[in-house]
Amino acid sequence: MSVLLIAEHNNKELRPFTYNAVSAASKIDEDLHILVLGNKSEEVAKSASEIPNVKKVIHIDNEIYENFIAENYTSAIIKHADAYSHIVCSANTFGKNLMPRIAALLDTSQVSDIIKVISADTFLRPIYAGNAFATVKSNDKKKCITIRPTSFEPAPASGGSAEIVKSEAGEAFKNSKFVKREEIKSDRPELGTARIVISGGRGMQNSENFKLISAIADKLNAAIGASRAAVDAGYITNDHQVGQTGKVVVPDLYIAVGISGAIQHLAGMKESKIIVAINKDGEAPIFSVADYGLEADLFEALPQFLEELNKLNTIQK
């Protein structure tokens, strides 16, 4: 048995969730290899080789891998698949887009979004927006698995020195072409890995009012999240959405402001360690998952909250 993990990166560095996926993958089997497909991505391969749990890095460098088109990735991965019992990657938009294309060509029924490795063939995964947990056993010879990154601790980034083996590119897929990426740059921590997340919902009323949220996020060094309603209404961009079809976050502290708490939103945050809800509707479902609920008008509560935080002198960064 060996596991092949497909690295997610930006050609310069590994994306943080790759480290979480490494932890999960090495629970399946210790013989863990990482495949880095990129363009001018030597640094990425080097970083992958420094992760202590990794036994070998396969590095394929070609311009066709510059923009992570799943169709291009797939042919290269399939060429290496024979040697592995498991092919895994993170269950974020990268892995969700990629893994089923590999699984179908290997005639494997994929196990998506696992939150626990029970054994090499048995996994725990949430279904129905996390309202039920299913224990599932894959009976396919080769297993294709995506890993919910926030359910696993990140693996250490240094201490290892795995060998890096170069390999040839696969065929380029002619019918898909990358056009552009509009990345939203931010100095704040990433939503998926932040220790504190503060999210706004429909109750924020407009994008201007999200400044009340950003002021607190700045103070707490928190990431900013949002409900689907707030994104749909155009208050904030889609990369902030937390929920069943957005991002799943598990911070130490999640502060939900003006969010009623639809099932679909709860699916993305209810595993957070401490949940705070600020909402003027005392009956809002968000209070049912909140450790601390404050029934208040957010337009009064948020400025007070900031003021109280300013009074504290021991804010942890």
Partner 1 sequence: MKILVAVKRVIDYNVQVRVKEDGTGVVTDNVKMSTNPPDDNAVEEAVKIKESGKAKEIVAITIGEEKAQETVRKALAVGADRGIHVKVDGVVEPLAVSKILQKIVDKEKPDLVFMGKQAIDDDCNQTGQMLAALLSWPQATFASKINVKDSSLEVTREVDEGLETIEVNIPAIVTCDLRLNEPRYASLPNIMKAKKKPLEQINASDLGVDTKARIEQIKVEEPPKRKAGIKVANVTELVQKLKNEAKVI
**Which residues between 205 and 224 bind partner 1 (CB under 8 A)?**
220
Query: Is 151 a binder of partner 1 (CB under 8 A)?
Result: no
Q: How would you write 14-69 as a 3-class SS string?
A: ECCHHHHHHHHHHHHCCCEEEEEEECCCHHHHHHHHCCCCEEEEEEEECHHHCCCC
Residue 61: CB minimum distance to partner 1, A: 22
Decide if 34 contacts 54 (C-beta within 8 A). Answer: yes
Listed residue (28, 8, 22) closest to 111, CA to CA:
28
Residue 112: CB minimum distance to partner 1, A: 5
The answer for residues whose C-beta is within 8 angstroms of residue 300's C-beta and 6 or more apart is none
Three-class DSSP category at 140: coil
Site string (99-138) toward partner 1, x via CB under 8 A? xxxxxxx-xxxxxxx--------x---xxxxxxxxxxxxx
Query: Is 281 a binder of partner 1 (CB under 8 A)?
Result: no
Query: Is 315 a binder of partner 1 (CB under 8 A)?
Result: yes
Instruction: Give 86 or 228: the residue with its C-beta nearer to partner 1.
Output: 228
Query: Is 66 a binder of partner 1 (CB under 8 A)?
Result: no
Helix (H) or strand (E) holding 217: helix 210-220
If phi > 0 it is left, if psi is from -120 to 50 it is alpha, else beta; for residue 299 that is alpha
Site string (220-259) toward partner 1, x via CB under 8 A? x-------x--xx----xxx----xx-x----xx------
Among positions 163-202, residues that touch partner 1 (CB under 8 A) are 173-184, 192, 196
Residue found under tokens 């994306």: 15
Instruction: Give 1 or 128: the residue with its C-beta nearer to partner 1.
Output: 128
Instruction: Give 162 or 298: the residue with its C-beta nearer to partner 1.
Output: 298
**Which amino acid appears at position 186 of this protein?**
S
Stretch that binds partner 1, among 36-44, 51-59, 204-212, 289-297 (CB under 8 A): 289-297
